[in-house]
Structure 1
Amino acid sequence: MPKLHCSRFLLLLASLLVISGTSTSLSNDRREVIKANHGVVATDDGRCSRIGRDVLREGGHAVDAAVAAALCLGVVSPASSGIGGGAFMLIGSADGKAQAFDMRETAPRQASKNMYAGNAAQKASGVLSIAVPGEIAGLYKAWKQYGKLPWRRLVRPAAHLAHSGFKISPYLHMQMVRSESGIMADKGLNDLFTSNGSLLRIGDMCYNKQLGKTLRAVSAYGMRPFYKGSIGVKLIKDIRKSGGILTMKDLQQYQVRVREPIVADVMGFKIIGMPPPSAGGAAMVLILNILAQYGFPMEGPSSLLIHRQSEALKHAFAVRMNLGDPDFVNVKNVVNDMLSTDFAKQLKKTIYDNMTFNPNHYGGKWNLINDHGTSHMSIVDSERNAVSMTSTINSYFGANYLSSSTGIVLNNEMDDFSIPAKHSGNVAPPAPANFIHPGKRPLSSMTPTIVFKDGQLRSVVGASGGAMIIAGATEVFLNHFARGMDPFSSIMAPRYYHQLIPNVLQYENWTVVTGDHIEAPANIRAALQKKGHVLQRIAGGTICQFVVQQFKSSKSGELIAVSDPRKGGFPAGF
């Protein structure tokens, strides 16, 4: 009998346990899961988890750790996030209060809804796809309200990594390979990620000394150099020289929005999510409200649970394109519907356990936007304050443009807007709620989530992975809280994705950077096909960071943090 790789055996065992509805722990001796009593940080990269953990150990607030970890990720994971992009930060305080910091990028003042007419490729990459970055402004504003440690202390580790160099991780290398043509075409990216005409390899040192200088200035003077000073001047000069439309006035006028979070009671839990322009919070609540009609905890054949989950997901995608930036579009009624249990009950009536339908059945009126890559972190401090933060520059390496004088990789967030377009009767029209307007923020799928029960923190969850984020974050929540799986198994279970259009149910089948093979079981796939689902294998998906607080007594909670092996990260705690 041939030897079975240990990690593949664990995944096979996990799949069998998911099928049978049994929960067990597969987390022994896995660096992707830790237990701690004081504080934890789970990010896409273990180096950044440790930097955040050290901040907590020094008495920092969860927001302090988020600042340090996010800036670190922008250095070592520059294909997914960074100060050239934006983020959503959800903060849940130990007393149960919550705030949502919207540091999403905005359309430049010279942007217009018809600016890409005749050349949609300019919306996807290059300098005309760059929106006004918001991450530094948002991190600084959140720190001013919650921070306990000096700002300089929080920025210093990322500045050191950028200047002194960092090793290329396996996942970053994969992103580099997939983006090779874009890297080779841009002088800034080429100078950073190649040597002698070839891409750097896994384990090679990468130095972004210009970004190091930029972060040192941010460390010393806060957000001012970026939005009203020397960094901004250099950044805009580079962008304008390359044909972009951003101006210093765009930077000077950028505003962080502090919003009221989505709050809903579902399945006995208080779910706190991100409001629009994120569609994630409302969509997750809608899915959970639909599935709650079937009973809790969820029981039955796994194929049936996945079918119901996919049908609920399709309904959420049909509704989400009615959302947009609340500063420009009145989305109150749409959000109220998505949070309504009565609305969920009506949608549940249209779901049949033995069949699925074409997209028209779910009532979607608008064509969908397929947003792209991101990075997520979940953090809990010693006082049980929590941060769930998802950051992004959109596609791998954003606009495929690096500002040489600042070392900053710029986003291509304009690609998340809808644009007017001719359409046939077979294709839904673009969503007017998400059309471009100066100062407007594009719709997003990012789903940072914090969960309370009986006034106590129970979980922090979120994911990266573009339009798949809503499905991934919701499935991890369901795996643990509705199906009784332990935190690590909840992360390791194969995931399923549906975006309504195209009418395809995607399932994981791939070997990730850690060597683990993740594959949806054949019997579940066969059962789903019998119900009419068109299946599609994908070698990718979401990457989730999951923290659970489990109580040994009414007052004392143990923190369990899991970083998703799909990206190769690991958590840190103390």
Structure 2
Amino acid sequence: MNQSKELTREIHPSNSEKEVNSSNNGKKQQECNKYIYSRWMVFLVLMSSIAVTLYFHNGKHNSPVKNNSAEFLMPPNPQRTDTKPVPSYTQLHIFKQAAVCSDSQVCSQVGRYIFEKNGSIVDATLATMFCSGLSNMQSMGIGGGFIMNLYIKQEGKAYTLDAREISAKASTRDMHLHDPTTTNEGPLSIATPGELKGYWEAHKRFGKLKWNEIIQPTIDICKNGFEMSKHMYDSLHTNSKVKMDKQLRQMYVDEHSNEFYKPGTIIKPDKLCRTLEIIAEQGGDSLYIGKLAEMFASDLKDMGSIITKHDLEEYEVRWNDSIPIDINGDIMYVIPPPASGILVSYIVNILKNYNFKPEDISSVNSTILTYHRIIEAFKHTYGKRTQIGDPKYVNIDDLVKNLTSSEYAENIRLTIDENSTKDGPQDYGGQFYIKDSHGTAHISVLGPNGDAISVTSSVNFYFGAAMTGNRTGIIVNSGMDDFSSPGLLNYFGLPGSERNYIQPQKRALSSMAPTIVVGKDGNVKLVVGAAGGTKITTAVAMIIIKMLWFNNDIKEAVDTPRIHHQLIPMALQYEFGNLDGVLQGLESKGHKTFRYRERGSIVCGIAQNGTGIYANADFRKGGEVVGF
């Protein structure tokens, strides 16, 4: 590897700790754009002349990060006063009629192909999702579940399709107390998947092309094999159980070295390919009733799961109206509970009467106050998050009314102290801990007729439960980890929310927040959503804020280094690239801060105005946008 690539790799803000270490071992990484590289080379020359000691950022400093094989320096927070973010290597794509944004360039191309065949917005989205469930099986797939926000321009209305996983009929609230690790690994972590049933129901209602036509591109990719992505490779290292599953081991592990195959390796999941062919022939309900359902039920039984054939037969999706929120004349459509759309609306409603404008982030001092206000809105919002539950099992009518009310949010805004923050979760209504998840993917689509879809799908953790059906080749989710259990405390000694306790055939609280913003003329202005567990809500809210109030384009909004506060832990989490002066200013107001090194949230965003369609895929994961 030449020296310039290696240096760029070491310092690029999207790299995780493992990625930086891998550069020291000579592993390949995509070269960042020349603009970023040149700026960092200046930094390296300056830094080479002085000794640098880095401390954990508890006020002013960063800490050295150590690894078993190497020690390396973490770049300090930027000192510059220019608040404009350094652009990433991704392109701002511009189209005239339609756009598809996903975690995979190939899958985005599949979506465009379906549009070109005169498919509907649902046809194109489902084709993209089938493909993503294959090429990004670490994040989503037919063994998981999704939530879709669908805007139909001709109707001037948006719908929510909830196809999330549900607990098995035999589930009990104390089923994990004997061993808390069973919530996120092993057979008791598996929830009844809803992904494929959701595809089927969406296609029946809004599809135009034949069912098999939207699956065939994925079948072709499956049979020919696809390249392992860098994100998939990184995800393998986060779930050690992958090596214990026979089929996953065959796909991803070199038996001679016992190491994972490298990015670029061709993956061919033969059994899953055959399952997709059966689904194309027999329909999307074939995994729930019929011979394929029997095969899948047998797979689950062999794994030790409590999910039965009857659980599959009784699974039902939920159709709801998306919730319209007025934002100064624009309409923001958010999804109802048990997902987190109402949390996005709460953040935006708290902040909208500040009447933010671009000048509010044009200098370090103005950014400090603006970010302080935003962080306080985050904290109030996460204080409400654990009050959300499945509305079929708990009454949350008043909660939904409050979190979507401008008046209620304004009363909260008036309590925000401009000069200081508070340290107690109870000051923001927080009583329970918040679980996190990582195995998630998001897809945003805008069609040529003005319809739009924002959809988030998940298997919960990377590669779900790390268990694969011996007959079907389906990777199953670890969705039970999204529930709370009585008697189990988190690291901070806080219990889980009773509203999110396990009950038979219940949906768990979800961080998913696929969102669509529509202008006064009925035309879509923004299609946005994210992957990233509890960081989803704040990421989506920040994109909306930056687009609507700070006049960012979609690339600027996605590229900007993110901030996140979920109340517990009581600290502002921030990405590399946030200015040191801003962070010091926030610390002077009482905010404790720490920098996270993982990718955090991954956004797919599409924006539209009178001049065209603008789209950007997040550099943090390496997806792509296509359109026409």
User: What is the TM-score with the length of structure 2 in the denominator?
Assistant: 0.84
1:504 aligned residue: 571
1:321 aligned residue: 386
Q: Give the superposition deviation at 1:302.
A: 1.7
Deviations 1:17-36 (A, max 9, x none): 9965669x958xx6543111
Instruction: Say what the alpha-carbon RMSD is for the aligned residues.
Output: 2.3
1:211 aligned onto 2:272: yes
Residues 257-336 of structure 1 correspond to what in structure 2 (within 5 A)?
257-279=318-340, 281-297=341-357, 299-300=359-360, 301-336=366-401
Counterpart CA distance in 1 for 2:607 and 2:573 is 27
Q: 1:108 to 1:323 in 2, by over 3 A?
A: same
1:8 aligned residue: 36
1:39 aligned onto 2:98: yes
- Kept in 2, the 8 Å contact 1:164–1:209? The answer is no
1:60 aligned residue: 119
Q: Give the superposition deviation at 1:193.
A: 1.3
Q: Give the superposition deviation at 1:373.
A: 2.8
1:549 to 604, 608, 613: 608
Q: 1:366 to 1:214 in 2, by over 3 A?
A: same
Q: 1:230 to 1:422 in 2, by over 3 A?
A: closer
1:350 to 395, 415, 425: 415
Residues 389-404 of structure 1 correspond to what in structure 2 (within 5 A)?
389-404=455-470
Q: Give the superposition deviation at 1:459.
A: 0.8
Letter in 2 for 1:138: G
Q: 1:438 to 1:382 in 2, by over 3 A?
A: same
1:128 aligned residue: 188
**Paired positions, count:** 553
Q: Secondary structure at the match of 1:224?
A: coil
Q: Give the superposition deviation at 1:341.
A: 1.4
Q: Which runs of 5+ in 2 are unaligned?
A: 9-32, 43-76, 361-365
Counterpart CA distance in 2 for 1:312 and 1:470 is 12
Counterpart CA distance in 2 for 1:22 and 1:190 is 45
Deviations 1:442-463 (A, max 9, x none): 0001010000111221110000
1:524 aligned onto 2:582: yes
Deviations 1:401-443 (A, max 9, x none): 1112211111000000011016699744321111111110000
Q: Give the superposition deviation at 1:266.
A: 1.8
Q: Give the superposition deviation at 1:190.
A: 1.0
Q: 1:360 to 1:224 in 2, by over 3 A?
A: closer
Q: Secondary structure at the match of 1:374?
A: strand
- Kept in 2, the 8 Å contact 1:19–1:302? The answer is no
Q: Secondary structure at the match of 2:534?
A: helix
- Kept in 2, the 8 Å contact 1:90–1:387? The answer is yes
Letter in 2 for 1:250: D
Q: Give the superposition deviation at 1:169.
A: 0.8
1:379 aligned residue: 445
Residues 422-571 of structure 1 correspond to what in structure 2 (within 5 A)?
427-454=493-520, 455-509=522-576, 519-539=577-597, 540-552=599-611, 558-571=612-625
Counterpart CA distance in 2 for 1:10 and 1:71 is 40
Moved more, 367-376 or 282-291: 367-376
Q: 1:195 to 1:49 in 2, by over 3 A?
A: same
User: What is the TM-score with the length of structure 1 in the denominator?
Assistant: 0.92
Moved more, 57-66 or 102-111: 57-66
Counterpart CA distance in 2 for 1:498 and 1:365 is 15
Larger radius of gyration: 2
Q: 1:390 to 1:206 in 2, by over 3 A?
A: same
Q: 1:250 to 1:10 in 2, by over 3 A?
A: farther
Counterpart CA distance in 2 for 1:11 and 1:332 is 52
- Kept in 2, the 8 Å contact 1:41–1:573? The answer is yes
Deviations 1:340-378 (A, max 9, x none): 112112211221222111222101233322233310010
Q: Secondary structure at the match of 1:483?
A: coil
Deviations 1:277-320 (A, max 9, x none): 102x1101110111112114364222222221111011111112
Q: Give the superposition deviation at 1:225.
A: 2.0
- Kept in 2, the 8 Å contact 1:163–1:211? The answer is no
Q: Secondary structure at the match of 2:311?
A: helix
1:115 aligned onto 2:170: no
Q: 1:264 to 1:188 in 2, by over 3 A?
A: same
Counterpart CA distance in 2 for 1:17 and 1:248 is 59
1:79 aligned onto 2:79: no
- Kept in 2, the 8 Å contact 1:22–1:485? The answer is no
Q: Which runs of 5+ in 1 are unaligned?
A: 510-518, 553-557
Letter in 2 for 1:251: L
Counterpart CA distance in 2 for 1:291 and 1:468 is 18
1:222 aligned onto 2:288: no
Letter in 2 for 1:184: K
1:513 aligned residue: none
Q: Identical aligned pairs, as a percentage?
A: 32
